Every structure is written in structure tokens, then in C-alpha cells.
Amino acid sequence: MKRMIQLSPYLYALAAIFLWSLLAVSSIILSHIPPFLLIGIAFLFGSICGTPFIKQWKASYKIILLGVYGIFGYHFCLFMALRAAPAIESNLLNYLWPLGIVLLTPIFLKNTLLKKHHIAAAFLGFIGAALIVTNGKFNFNTFHIGYAYAIAAAFIWSTYSLLSKRLSISTPVIGLFCFISGVLSLFLHFILEPSYSIQLSELLLIIVLGIGPMGASFYFWNTSMNLGDSRIIGSISYLTPLLSTTFLALYGKAQITFISILAMFLIVLGAIVGTKK
């Protein structure tokens, strides 16, 4: 991992997006497990991906705080949002993070400007994500504290991603971030959630979840952010809800409707526009 295979940074981004799109199906299968217990164990297995390079788990306390802020902070706010507010609206606000990556790029990265096609791509992606997440039906009439958590989650992931690029965080140290995030998540489980005994069949699924969507995805994402253009990465990140909905439909937990097809068209169009030079 000291020097990952030389691929296009956008292939690494797509690999992370593909793994994250499996989270919804995984969450449904394991929905009976307390969430902080689930992600705590998954994070610990995710850190195992980096143990062959454990000697490179060296970073300043500022870098470690940034990693915990990003990986643990994002998931903490997301789960708190889903606890306190309707899932549809919370997910919609959470998917502001790709838009945040695009729009905040000039603030965090010097000598980087936004062009019209970057902004157009980001908004096309967000409109598509809004349609595919809500199926055209959402209700913000009642305020929920969960909405604030969802917006905070989006802000955390977008700023963490840009800061990790700005500081060129080494990919092996992501394992340390996952380990600390796992310990903190398990601590919250013991404080906030009822006790639960993990069965062997569940543990096997959690291991897969940890190695993939809650492990390797972060390594891929870090490599992509270090090597690629954050404006383009933000644009193509809206493929996450598209693929997630597709997998849910294949699993029988979602339906592909006209609105879904329109949303997919807008997301793909946004990704194409965003990658134009």
C-alpha cells in the first residue's frame, strides 16, 4: 500500500462508490443489530486491511484528529440523524456531501477554480440524488434535530475529503483511523444501546462489511482524493445513490419507477458533464 497499483484516480473513486452502494442492502440484512455495535466491529475489521502496513501507522495528532473527525464523525452524525429524523429526508440531506466537495474545492485547495460545467454537474447530480432517494416525495414541514445531524454529516465528509487531499494523508494511516473509529463506536454502543450477542453467521457478514464498504472503500477513496481532481470526484460521487437503489431493487427492497429512471439519467448526465475538460 506504500505505493498502490497505478490506476486512474477515478477508478479508485468508482471502487469506493461501488462498495458504499452496498451499504444499504447490508444495513437491511443486519438491521436488527444495534448500529454502533455494527459499525464498531466493521471498523475494526476495516482496520485489518491496513495491518500489513502497521509500521506506517504514524501520524501527527492533528492528522489523527482529522481522520477520526472524518470517518467516525461522519458515521456518528449520520446514524444520529437516522435515529432522530425520517430516513428519506435525512438521506437526502446527507447526499449534500458530493455537492460540498465540488463547491468547497476552491476554498480548501489553492489554485483550483470552479468552472460552469463543474457547478452544473454537481447540481444535476444532487437533483438526481434527491429524486432517487425520495422518489419525489419528501416532507420538511416539521423540524427534526436529525436534519442538523444529516447536514453536519455531509459537511464533515466533504471537508474531511478535501483536507485529506490538501494534507496528502498517506493511505496506510487510514487503518489507524478505522481502528480508533471502531473503538469509539463500540464505546457509544455500550453507553447508548442495549447489549446484543453476535451470532456466527452475522459475524461473517460483518467481516465482509468491514473489509469492503467499511474498510477498503476508505483506502480507495483516500488514494483517489490524493491523485485526482476533487471537482470531478465530487461529480461522479452521485453514482452512489444510483447504484445503491439499483442493488436495493435487485434485492427486492426498492422499485425502479419513472422518477428513478429520470434520476439515473440526471446523475449520469452530471457525471459526464463533470468529467469534461
Question: What are the mean pLDDT values of the chain's consecutive 10-residue runs (277 residues total)?
Answer: 62 95 85 92 91 80 94 92 78 86 90 84 85 71 80 94 94 93 96 92 92 93 94 89 84 75 83 73
Q: Are 248 and 46 in contact (CB under 8 A)?
A: no
Angle at 39 between CA 148 and CA 149, to 5 degrees: 0
Query: Is 2 inside any structural domain?
Result: no
| Dihedral of the alpha carbons of 77, 83, 88, 91, in degrees to the nearest 10 | 10
Q: How far apart are CA 252 and CA 237, in angstroms?
A: 24
Q: How far apart are CA 181 and CA 187, in angstroms?
A: 10
Q: How far apart are CA 135 and CA 258, in angstroms?
A: 9
Q: What are phi and psi of 111, to 5 degrees?
A: 60, 25
Angle at 241 between CA 228 and CA 43, to 5 degrees: 70
Determine the residue type at 123: F
Q: How far apart are CA 181 and CA 177, in angstroms?
A: 6
The whole domain housing 118 covers 9-274
Query: Is 4 inside any structural domain?
Result: no
Determine the residue type at 20: W
What is the helix (H) or strand (E) element at residue 139, kind and residue range? none
Determine the residue type at 247: F
Look at residue 241 in the predicted model and tell me its pLDDT.
85
Query: Is 206 inside any structural domain?
Result: yes
What is the helix (H) or strand (E) element at residue 241, kind and residue range? helix 239-250
The answer to whether the Cα torsion of 41, 42, 48, 50 is positive or negative is negative
Look at residue 198 in the predicted model and tell me its pLDDT.
92
Determine the residue type at 5: I
Q: How far apart are CA 170 and CA 73, in angstroms?
A: 20
Q: Are 102 and 121 in contact (CB under 8 A)?
A: yes
Q: How far apart are CA 245 and CA 16, in angstroms?
A: 16
How many folded domains does the chain comprise? 1
Look at residue 2 in the predicted model and tell me its pLDDT.
45
Determine the residue type at 245: T
Query: Is 102 inside any structural domain?
Result: yes
Query: Is 58 inside any structural domain?
Result: yes
Query: CA of 15: how far to CAs of 23, 105, 198, in Å?
Result: 13, 22, 29
Residue keyed to cell 425520495: 134
Cell digits for 223? 488514494
Query: Is 38 inside any structural domain?
Result: yes
Query: Is 15 inside any structural domain?
Result: yes
Query: Is 185 inside any structural domain?
Result: yes
Cell digits for 148? 442538523
Q: How far apart are CA 210 and CA 115, in angstroms?
A: 37
